[in-house]
Structure 1
Amino acid sequence: MPAASRIRAESDAQAIAQWLSEYAASPQTQRAYRKEAERLMLWLAASGLTLAELDRSQLQRFEAFLADPQPHERWVGPPRPRQHPQWRPFRRPLSAASRRQSLVILQGMFAWLGEAGWLSHNPFRLMRDKRRRLDNRQAPIERYLERPLWEWLWNWLNRPLADSATSRERYLHRRRRLIFGFAYLLAPRISEMATARMGDFSYREGRWWWRVTGKGARTERIPVPADMIALLGEWREGLGLAAQPAGDDPTPLIRALDGHRAIGDNQLYRLIKATFAEAALALESEASDGGTRPLSRQLARATPHWLRHTALTHQAQAGVELRYLAKTARHSRLDTTARYLHAEADEWQQQVAAHRLGEQ
């Protein structure tokens, strides 16, 4: 323990655990921060270093590692439970935006550990271009499905089942439609979907609202469009319930195969990813000339969070005002929400298109 330490910790891991405990009220944030801290700790262990020994040049090496974790077989693999022997800390090398986000999180961790007296220096402060490299708030959102691709996906999700479909297949079909419709219409985070309850939907003064507790344990009410109420009614009737929920119903919205139990974040994540993968294969098989291949690759790359980005981007494109978009997204800063505004870029492209080399 460093002499100046103001926390009770015997190791870097214990010190980081105390930092993570500050986010106990926001489990999603805590999980995201734990993932980035774990990647750093595993890299430090492989390099024979401790947190206190991380300097500016090694931080640069770590950033390069995030872009290309090598050896690949040691660091990169498909999603698996943390205890699985083939678990890996990366699903793929991190994009530039993901690397910036990782460094932002770790910069905050080092600042906290410095204030706690566990570390005597913060290597992030030595980055000359720190503001450009770490401020990712202005980067526009790119990981979303453009409207034609979303419309194809929704039509694919709604394709009729064969008359011979089993009751289990019909249940899974209804559940998948509910999950993707919910994600698109209300822009929830995946943890908010997994913890949603029937009673979170309520009818007040002639309108439906969704009560959600998100980051920072803040509870908000979000307007619910008619399409979501229709989906909810179909789902509930398939469960043998009345179409409209009661405000005091604590049962899970999204349920396991038994029709009663809730499903966890990880199971929901895998379900959505598997659906994207299945849809990608279906889209690619629709055209033999390869014209849909870029779109199918986009679906194959998509993650559950893309659905939230898609929802907010399409609302912005439909003309929803920034102040209301921020309320739906539950962002504390308008510049965070502004990353979903692509209309100005489209108009810019249209106007520049008139600038030609000559009359044609």
Structure 2
Amino acid sequence: MVEAADRYVELVRAKAVTGALSPATAEVYARDAATLVALAGESTVLDDLTGEDVDAILLAFARKPDGRRVVPGAGLQSASSQARFRRSISALFKHAVLAGWVQINPMAMATVMARERGGLRAERRALTREQAQGLVGAARELQSVPEQGRRDQRMELRDGLIVLLLTALGPRVSELVRANVEDFFTNDGVRYWRIFGKGGRTRDVPLPADVAVALEVYLERGRGEVADKALLLSWRGRRLARGDVQAVIERVQRRVAPEQRRSVTPHGLRHTTATHLLADAVDMDAVRRVLGHSDLSTLGRYRDELPGELEVAMRAHPLLRAPKPEA
């Protein structure tokens, strides 16, 4: 078991070197492979695992305390972590079949669902339209905040741009902090962001007009003259860290009216983007390209239900509308 896991980890890390996988994804696979070995037992033979064994491993992982969460009583792994672990070990077993390490893939006989815990935490779910509009409104207002204090410590324009990019385009937080000034370009009068995503893939996403304006204002007045090519900088003039983005969102949230305010993570804003673009009947393939997915089926993970959505859809049913009068 240990030898098979080690050889698999060597493979995924080699893919990271060639650009087939991002280094962060390779490390996630490596960590999940180590967790699989720990839960199954180091002396277990990989080819001996059955569907029932995999079920037991998935349940053990679901009940494993998540050290990243400090909320009292929140000891279980989140649904998204369970789904990620399931995908990781599924990839391992798929390779094991191709490499001849196992004769039958036990994942095909596993029955435990990744969402056994009951869904994503509220902070990772999509904001309602009213909540999202409140957050966007607060981000826009930051562009007109009077300039006070030292220029290198005024972060209002940066904070507003971060929230607008996250809410309107739904990038992964890693894609956001990795962005450089040179990644933004203009073509035929339209401002684009060339996003460097997972697996070495890139996508060019057009910025909505409001976001393009916020970008220009930030570049002219908020970023300052620094040597670092990073788009988003800390007040010390260094590339913004992933962990700082949540604090930015919370700072902007404090400007939102209490009745529209709800805690949300960067990943929750990614859900918000997908949910509202799809609810507004934006083409599914266009939404897939905005979010940077290679497969349409992946959108299901990022699309949350909205209250009253079915009722609105039925009221506006395209087959039951009165025909337009002829001109």
TM-score normalised by structure 2 residue count: 0.73
Q: Distance in 2 between matches of 1:343 and 1:303?
A: 18
Identify which of 268, 272, 283 aligns with 2:245. 272
Q: CA deviation at 1:134?
A: 7.1
Q: Distance in 2 between matches of 1:40 and 1:10?
A: 11
Aligned partners of 2:63 and 2:76 also within 8 Å: yes
Question: Over aligned residues, Cα RMSD in angstroms?
Answer: 4.1
Question: Which residue number in structure 1 is paired with residue 235 of structure 2?
Answer: 257
Q: CA deviation at 1:333?
A: 2.8
Q: Does 1:56 align with 2:51?
A: yes
Q: Distance in 2 between matches of 1:51 and 1:33?
A: 24
Q: CA deviation at 1:48?
A: 3.8
Identify which of 272, 282, 289 aligns with 1:310. 272
Aligned partners of 1:199 and 1:250 also within 8 Å: no
Q: Does 1:203 align with 2:186?
A: yes
Q: Distance in 2 between matches of 1:282 and 1:181?
A: 14
Q: Distance in 1 between matches of 2:307 and 2:138?
A: 31
Q: Distance in 2 between matches of 1:179 and 1:345?
A: 30
Aligned partners of 1:200 and 1:212 also within 8 Å: yes
Question: Which residue number in structure 2 is paired with residue 235 of structure 1?
Answer: 218
Q: Distance in 2 between matches of 1:50 and 1:120?
A: 19
Q: Does 1:323 align with 2:285?
A: yes
Secondary structure class of the residue paired with 2:45: helix
Aligned partners of 1:316 and 1:341 also within 8 Å: no
Secondary structure class of the residue paired with 2:216: helix
Q: In structure 2, do the counterparts of structure 1 residues 161 and 93 end up closer, same or farther at CA, with 3 Å as the change threshold?
A: farther
Identify which of 24, 30, 34 aligns with 1:31. 24
Question: Which residue number in structure 1 is paired with residue 309 of structure 2?
Answer: 346
Q: In structure 2, do the counterparts of structure 1 residues 316 and 11 end up closer, same or farther at CA, with 3 Å as the change threshold?
A: closer
Q: In structure 2, do the counterparts of structure 1 residues 92 and 22 end up closer, same or farther at CA, with 3 Å as the change threshold?
A: farther
Q: Distance in 2 between matches of 1:320 and 1:165?
A: 43
Identify which of 297, 300, 305 aligns with 1:335. 297
Q: CA deviation at 1:147?
A: 1.8
Aligned partners of 2:271 and 2:304 also within 8 Å: no
Report how many aligned residue pairs link the two structures.
300
Aligned partners of 2:228 and 2:239 also within 8 Å: no
Q: Distance in 2 between matches of 1:332 and 1:176?
A: 30
Q: Distance in 1 between matches of 2:251 and 2:50?
A: 45
Letter in 1 for 2:271: H
Write out per-residue CA displacement over residues 200-232 of structure 1, whole angstroms, 9 at most, x where no aligned residue.
222222222222232332332222211121111
Q: Distance in 1 between matches of 2:268 and 2:34?
A: 28
Aligned partners of 1:19 and 1:109 also within 8 Å: no
Which structure would you say has the larger RCO, counting Cα contacts within 8 Å and 6 or more residues apart? Answer: 2
Identity %: 22
Unaligned stretches of 5+ residues in structure 2: 316-327
Q: CA deviation at 1:277?
A: 5.0
Q: CA deviation at 1:236?
A: 0.9
Question: Which residue number in structure 1 is paired with residue 129 of structure 2?
Answer: 147
